[in-house]
Amino acid sequence: MRWSLFTRDAAGTATGGIPAVDADVVIRRITTGKFVVSTPWTPDRWHRLPASAGLIIVRDSQTVLSGAWTRRSWRSSGSEEHPLGLIGLEGVTDDAIGQYRLVSPNPELPFDGQNAPGATAVWSMTGPVETVMHAVVALNAGPGARPERRVPALVMGPDLGRGPVVVWSSLRYSTVQEELRRLAAHAERAGDRLLPVFHQTDLGLTFEVLGEDDRTGLVVFGAGLGNLDDQEYIEDAGTAGLAIGAGKGEGAARLQQVAVTTDEFTLAFGTLPEVYVDRRDTEKWEDLMQAARDAVDDGVAKVSYRCTARDTAGTRYAREWNLNTRASVLVGPAGTDPDTGENYEPIAAFDDLVREAHLELNPTEGTDIVTAAIGAEGASTGVALPSLTKLAALQARVDQLQRSL
């Protein structure tokens, strides 16, 4: 497969190609992805990569990711092949916009004015999930945001009004990305698998919501089909059998709502955790029930699957499948049972979304590897590129920001 890498400026405009000595990329649904790239140093390439510049990475004529660099380095290579040394780039996908922006309780007010008389504790809206997603982004990073909070060059794609109608209340000072994940999970439970993304399009740096790419029965991952190099299947017990959503008030007078799981797979594990969800930012019964319901729904028992996918007819990455593709999985080894002479039956068979993809390129070694993670929200390729753990730690801290206020 052919990879093409392009530098881009702060406005998202491609400024020229660069060769890749190696590239490592992780992308995930509604989560900030990461790239690590090395390219031979030249004065022109270095000058094309100032602060706020980034990369557009294309594989097999399909854009894999776009994003800004967060770390740039030069090092001598010690080889005749690259006598001027190498540029090293670590960066994040454009989904970082959602991770770096907080959801303002009152978007028309500056942050130091959020305690003004009459100001609301959290932002709320009623509408289809996709419309609420667009509003969250537009008011906190896009053209509807206060001037000092607008992301330069960010444009809004079309709002098709998909997903169930919700009476939505944000968490207090959650991130835009966290709200998009919550909204997407709510829609997915209703059968609408929406993927909100920040990425490079013909319009420039764009926020849009993509629909599910349902390829069940058409894209099938399975060892017996010859399209995998390795696979791993995991079943995890549930993490919440009962949840209490607790709102304003003190002691026995504190408002609360309770939700209990009805998922059969989860209940099969027996004793289940009971969890307490602190939502003292709200006194709305519907918010507390939603918080309890979300905790129970997110805590169901899960299956996840990881495989190294070969670029074969039917399972070519970015051709037949991508993030948000709903694919079919046949879990288990290929071959014949020596005791019965029959082909092995699948350990499990299920249909679910591709949640994460890891792509690795090393032209010198001749490697071009794609690993897919399919299944419940926790499905992962298991790859942690440099600084991804730092991003995860940052996200955890932001998630707790003023949550108890």
Give the tens place of pLDDT for each residue, 65-104. 999 999 999 998 777 888 899 999 999 999 999 999 999 9
Q: Give pLDDT tens digits for 18-76.
A: 999 989 999 999 999 999 999 999 999 999 999 989 999 998 888 889 999 999 999 98
- For residue 254, give the amino acid letter: R
The strand pair at 62-75 and 242-246 is best described as: unpaired
Q: In what order do the strands lie in the sheet with 274-278?
A: 256-260, 242-246, 274-278
Give CA–CA dist 195/257, Å, rounded: 30
Fold of 3-92: Phage tail proteins - horseshoe like beta roll fold (2.30.300)
What is the DSSP-derived secondary structure letter of residue 126?
E
**pLDDT on residue 259:** 95
Q: Give pLDDT tens digits for 192-237.
A: 999 999 998 888 899 999 999 999 999 988 877 776 778 889 999 9
> Is 358's pLDDT higher than 50?
yes
> Is 394's pLDDT higher than 60?
no
**Half-sphere exposure of 327 toward its Cβ, with a 13 Å CA cutoff?**
29
Give CA–CA dist 55/65, Å, rounded: 8
Nearest-CA neighbor of 82 among 359, 363, 361?
Answer: 363
Classify the C-alpha dihedral 401-206-143-118 as positive or negative.
Answer: negative
What is the DSSP-derived secondary structure letter of residue 246?
E
Nearest-CA neighbor of 11 among 57, 50, 47?
Answer: 50
Give CA–CA dist 188/100, Å, rounded: 24
Give CA–CA dist 245/344, Å, rounded: 46
Q: Which helix (H) or strand (E) holds 152?
A: none
> Is 395's pLDDT higher than 70?
no
